[in-house]
Structure 1
């Protein structure tokens, strides 16, 4: 067993797995925590071990990379991977300048089935923390989006990859970003008929992909991946329509049809272009929102775009805390792998290879290109009606938000939330938070709706039992299963 620093990695997607391997190779003891049943994250979500697919590699990009990372961590004596491990809270342990060896944070973890009783409680105080918490879909509201059958694109892909279940027989895929293409591909492989893929960004915005072609040449794999999706679209005669959006869903207790409209450059619907398309499911995603709860709790500074700010070594502004992957910017799995390798080595106190840093920088440039082409434009508000639900948990409508703003004269998100109850439901504004901020005029506030002291709901009974490992001496040899 290694006697180096104890590094905890939160998240077992591409960034987290790469960080864990780099930290272990640099001589650290590593504990990986992930809330899912198996490692891999959303990108490598797969069937459980007791019912593996015969040709799993066909369903995933870079499946061999995942296999190599999983095997390396399983064989490394200094690595422990805890799945079904939910970090529900984080305490910042403030230290003075003369306490350079003190631990930066305390993590509160529950291990076990989320709805099960008697979950194991862990309290960990690592020497270094790597946050690889990823991101989740952002879905802009539209009339009827609360109907059964309207799901996030990420949920549709998770069911397709993790359960081989299609969300419907006739599915419309809509939103913004290249993520829509692998979602459509996953649905096709489960037997669904994808009626069409509707990309909100117009062709003019998408032309930014062609700017600075030397940057694209630095990431040739993406060009091949895009060509593969284009061939699949052609093979299934599946239309891909830029500059269009689902602006309403219709049905009696279930989606039966959607209204699709052309959009202008600001994403406002163009009058007279609406048409109704029959469908029993809609998979929709307008880019992604980073999972910032733990980063905010740790005191990490955020960028103006509301991602975790990091330096050249992926270190955050919080001492002893590093970050990698989508929580620092939406760049895809390749960027996450490179960032994770940098963060893991740095967190362990090891040397960061220049080649990995250069690869990371190439993928960061690619991520900037993605945002320029697919970033959300403000005109989408034009497709809302007063009876459009904005917060699905509390059924708060757009009209109610406007009414509250007029009656109170407040444009502060907190005030509007307390008065209208938007964002106060079970999801705690994870779905509607960014939308709420934009609608009430506080978009870009430092922490906004991302500050949550309790990251996920917990039972009082889970907290009554003493922790199973002492906070200053975690023992990875007795703390769980390897992947």
Structure 2
């Protein structure tokens, strides 16, 4: 039987597994989480008593349905689920994973990558201080453990996640001092038209959440710096839309500018990439069904940043493409393709409404830390250009931008922005950092305990 491997058990991975199992296949699903659901529908550990409505809000019914679907597939033996497992390399039809401290190898004939997305971060002077997190990290702590990562919080950045996490924290009782959105209201209004035309109810729900933030929310903010002492942040200095200097006292800061697709495994699997001016990042190329190469299928936010609903559809479509390529019966994708087109229009509106702060990044002072993993400053990156030239991988080699444990996930885009600004090149001309295994940090001890049977 053809061996199908799915990486990721979020909405896309779950729907892909469900579709393949319905056709009589038994796919393997590798996921870093202990329980399926992904980031958006992340489940707390067993024994936690917070009800789904508290965790997922208006999406509680969808979350519970997805959890039940996947748990049923596992219970009935229709899929093989490998939880708490990380794929760190792909080569020659073999996935190299680490699970419970041991390296394993899984051979596959067809691969569906549903790797999701992570926070898209921009450097802010002082962001290297302890107590500065991503919005996603703040949300994970709240969903998984029911805690806020600080006593008085400032959230800053732009995009729907900023509003959502702020609302979730406030509803849970956290003390949120300010929610600072770098997107001006004019951009939000312009992009909001496209959003409303494509998905009016979702847009309305977002506006309601925004309204509930009340005095906490400040659009068109400019972030100046995060002040900190040995214990972490003490304040965030910023300017409002009118240019007035403001200070928000805090002991924790969360940052995030929408999302960036998680594409390292797609790169190792041989997918082709193109620069997307809409989403302001490099994205893998695939057809409407998710085909990205021979036996390679991409689904969810790792391909298109369409959110949880779009990920479910994309997961089904990728599985249907896989079945059709195997000459097996599969359902008609027409309805899903039409729904996906509508969600793409909505996502483009989101990208327009909440733009990446390119000017803020290009104008960063030289002493600002650009790469938190390696402690590389903006001045370090600029000084490397004399020898490296305007090419991302050469700047990485000489200045170590993107060479740390995050593998450029946090600093790659900002680094490219600095290079483009200094050299007068476009971001497309600067290029992207090539993915290299391991795509996640792996302890040396895992290789010493490698499973000899795999």
Question: What's the CA shift string for 1:109-144, capped at 9, x where partnerless?
Answer: 1212xxxxxx34332222321111111112111111
Per the alignment, do residues 207 and 30 of structure 1 end up closer, same or farther by CA in structure 2, a change over 3 Å counting? same
**Displacement of 1:66:** 2.7
1:258 counterpart (236, 252, 263)? 236
Equivalent residues of 1:27, 1:348 under 8 A apart: no
Per the alignment, do residues 352 and 86 of structure 1 end up closer, same or farther by CA in structure 2, a change over 3 Å counting? farther
1:108 counterpart (96, 106, 111)? 96
1:280 counterpart (219, 236, 251)? 251
Q: Say which SS state the counterpart of residue 307 (structure 1) adopts.
A: strand
**Displacement of 1:70:** 2.6
**Displacement of 1:383:** 4.9
1:176 corresponds to 2:158: yes
Per the alignment, do residues 161 and 177 of structure 1 end up closer, same or farther by CA in structure 2, a change over 3 Å counting? same
Q: Say which SS state the counterpart of residue 144 (structure 1) adopts.
A: coil
- Greater RCO, 1 or 2 (C-alpha within 8 Å, sep 6+): 1
Please say which of residues 318-327 and 194-203 is displaced more in the overlay. 194-203
**Displacement of 1:465:** 4.6
Q: Say which SS state the counterpart of residue 35 (structure 1) adopts.
A: coil
**Displacement of 1:320:** 0.6
1:449 counterpart (416, 426, 433)? 433
TM-score w.r.t. length of structure 1: 0.84
Per the alignment, do residues 8 and 399 of structure 1 end up closer, same or farther by CA in structure 2, a change over 3 Å counting? same
Per the alignment, do residues 107 and 228 of structure 1 end up closer, same or farther by CA in structure 2, a change over 3 Å counting? same
Per the alignment, do residues 422 and 217 of structure 1 end up closer, same or farther by CA in structure 2, a change over 3 Å counting? closer
**Displacement of 1:89:** 0.5
2:410 counterpart (427, 431, 449)? 431
Equivalent residues of 1:296, 1:447 under 8 A apart: no
Instruction: Tell me the residue number matched to 2:185.
Output: 203
Separation of aligned partners in 1, 2:207 and 2:369:
38
Instruction: Tell me the residue number matched to 1:412.
Output: 391
TM-score w.r.t. length of structure 2: 0.89
Q: How many residues get paired?
A: 434
Gap regions ≥5 residues in structure 2:
277-281, 325-329, 421-425
Q: Say which SS state the counterpart of residue 373 (structure 2) adopts.
A: coil
Mapping of residues 293-304 of structure 1, within 5 Å = 293-304=264-275
Q: Say which SS state the counterpart of residue 80 (structure 2) adopts.
A: strand
Instruction: Tell me the residue number matched to 1:329.
Output: 304
Per the alignment, do residues 463 and 446 of structure 1 end up closer, same or farther by CA in structure 2, a change over 3 Å counting? farther
Question: What's the CA shift string for 1:166-187, capped at 9, x where partnerless?
Answer: 1222211110111111110221
What is the aligned-residue RMSD (CA, Å)? 2.2
Greater helix share, structure number? 2
1:69 corresponds to 2:51: no
Instruction: Tell me the residue number matched to 1:474.
Output: none
2:52 counterpart (56, 59, 62)? 56
Instruction: Tell me the residue number matched to 2:12.
Output: 15
Question: What's the CA shift string for 1:14-66, capped at 9, x where partnerless?
Answer: 1111211122123221111111222111101231113232x222320423223
Q: Say which SS state the counterpart of residue 142 (structure 2) adopts.
A: helix
Separation of aligned partners in 2, 1:168 and 1:457:
27
**Displacement of 1:464:** 4.2
Per the alignment, do residues 175 and 255 of structure 1 end up closer, same or farther by CA in structure 2, a change over 3 Å counting? same
Equivalent residues of 1:175, 1:245 under 8 A apart: no
2:287 counterpart (279, 301, 311)? 311
Instruction: Tell me the residue number matched to 2:279.
Output: none
Per the alignment, do residues 446 and 454 of structure 1 end up closer, same or farther by CA in structure 2, a change over 3 Å counting? farther
Separation of aligned partners in 2, 1:308 and 1:47:
32
Q: Say which SS state the counterpart of residue 275 (structure 2) adopts.
A: coil
Equivalent residues of 2:28, 2:79 under 8 A apart: yes
1:150 corresponds to 2:132: yes
